Amino acid sequence: MTAKVLYEGGLRCKAIHNKTGTLISTDAPLDNEGKGQAFSPTDLVATALGSCMLTIMGIAARNHKIDINGTTAEITKTMASDPRRISKLEVLIHFANEHTPKDRKILEAATHGCPVGRSLHLDLEKTVSFVYPN
């Protein structure tokens, strides 16, 4: 078992990570009858994509001795209706350090190896942009 999710009422859930006991709370978003006081389940999908891309990039960076500490990912989620679903995820990766053209190629290619991104439906539009200092 990876996690256990408890419905707490009021459209809120608490997810408990099996191995560590780490907790994540979710709440339905304001536009879907919730209070929007925590990540929504679809926010977690968007967040998972960004953190997965940075993690896979981190593996490539470690293997090639590239410093990506301080790199961030901003994820913008767009919802569609009928049926209600995520229609678009935009990931904007900001690098804290300058990188050579070779290193950029390695890091940018790594994002395509993200298992979360590979698991999302092909109809879901995904865009990734990279911002380097200066």
Same domain, 16 and 64: no
Contact 40, 46 (CB under 8 A): no
| pTM of the complete model | 0.94
Same domain, 32 and 50: no
Domain of 129, CATH number, reads 3.30.300.20
Task: Please report which helix (H) or strand (E) contains residue 43, including its range.
Answer: helix 41-63
Q: In terms of residue numbers, what domain contains 115? A: 40-134
* Number of C-beta neighbours around residue 43 at 10 A: 17
Task: Say whether both 113 and 89 belong to one domain.
Answer: yes
pLDDT tens, N- to C-terminus, the chain (134 residues)? 999 999 999 999 999 999 999 999 999 999 999 999 999 999 999 999 999 999 999 999 999 999 999 999 999 999 999 999 999 999 999 999 999 999 999 999 999 999 999 999 999 999 999 999 97
Question: Looking at residue 134, what is its pLDDT?
Answer: 78
Tell me, what's the pLDDT at 131?
Answer: 98
